[in-house]
Amino acid sequence: MKEKNIIELIDLTKTYTVGDQKLTVLSIPHLAIAPREWISITGQSGSGKTTLLHILGCLDVPTTGTYLLNDINTTTLNTADQTAIRNKTIGFIFQRFHLLATLTAAENIALPLHYAGLSTQLITERVNEMLTLVGLQARKDHYPHQLSGGQQQRIAIARALVTKPTLILADEPTGSLDSNTGQEILKFLKELHATYPITIVLITHDPEVARYGTRQLHIKDGSLI
Ligand SMILES: Nc1ncnc2c1ncn2[C@@H]1O[C@H](COP(=O)(O)OP(=O)(O)O)[C@@H](O)[C@H]1O
Ligand SMILES: [Mg+2]
């Protein structure tokens, strides 16, 4: 039997209207992503990478077309259902980590679980599990400004994984790190990808970073090639 896709895009477009100008910034006739793939998408600035990732993350909706996530047509869901599916299925990793400055490392990791309404005991267990996974138990009470860039990104990865998502969306995850630290983070993601049943979609302008993917796509003027 053919394995189900985790993601399928059909006749997808995104158009922005600015003033009296209509600008189609994304146009994808078809894209299917199977579970456990690691898709790298490269493209120049302005090519539509972030727009695509936001749509995949249910943070934005396409103008036309269909986005199936685990066979669920996300385009017809209301906002509450989109949020629910996002919290359950997807973990995000950003270029600038997006950790909350007023929360400790452990508290940042715990945040998605508070939204999910888990018990305090279960949250503590899961956070400790994640801290161990990213090798930062000793830094759990540190605030983001007391951590290096690489450590902050590890905490952000722990936060992305704490809900046990099946899809990881990463937007230039090494873009704010020096090249050695960036490589370290990528090797760590590679280990995670080999160990856990996760699918990764990673966007980057850097061909070296893209090489970590199991499949590489390129986006130009909103079209995948
Ligand atoms: N809210 C918006 N309104 C109008 N145009 C936008 C908006 N967001 C993005 N764009 C345009 O869409 C194109 C793709 O943007 P983006 O997806 O951020 O590119 P990338 O992440 O590859 O740099 C760009 O030309 C950008 O100017
Ligand atoms: Mg971008």
CA of 46 to the centre of ligand 2 (A): 7
CB 218 within 8 A of CB 225: yes
Res. 50: pLDDT tops 70:
yes
Q: Summarize pLDDT for 67-122 with one digit per residue, the tens.
A: 999 999 999 999 999 999 999 999 999 999 999 999 999 999 999 999 888 999 99
- Reduced to 3 states (helix: H, G, I; strand: E, B; else coil), residue 60 is coil
CA 180, CA 196: separation in Å to the nearest integer? Answer: 24
What is this structure's pTM? 0.94
Q: Residue 78 carries which side chain, given as an amino acid letter?
A: N
Answer whether residue 224 shows pLDDT above 80. yes
Residue-wise pLDDT for 175-194, tens only, equals 999 999 999 999 999 999 99
User: CATH number of 36-61+78-224: 3.40.50.300, 3.40.50.150, 3.30.420.40, 1.10.10.10?
Assistant: 3.40.50.300
- The residue contributing the CA closest to ligand 1 atom 6 is 16
Q: Does residue 137 register a pLDDT over 80?
A: yes
Q: What average pLDDT is seen over the chain?
A: 95
Distance from the alpha carbon of residue 92 to the mean position of ligand 1, in angstroms: 19
Nearest CA to ligand 1 atom 5: 16
* Domain residue ranges in the chain: 36-61+78-224
Phi and psi at residue 93, to the nearest 5°: -125, 130
* Among the listed residues 54, 78, 56, the one whose alpha carbon sits nearest the alpha carbon of residue 5: 56
CB 7 within 8 A of CB 31: yes
| CA 65 to centroid of ligand 1, rounded, Å | 19
Residue 26 pLDDT exceeds 90: yes
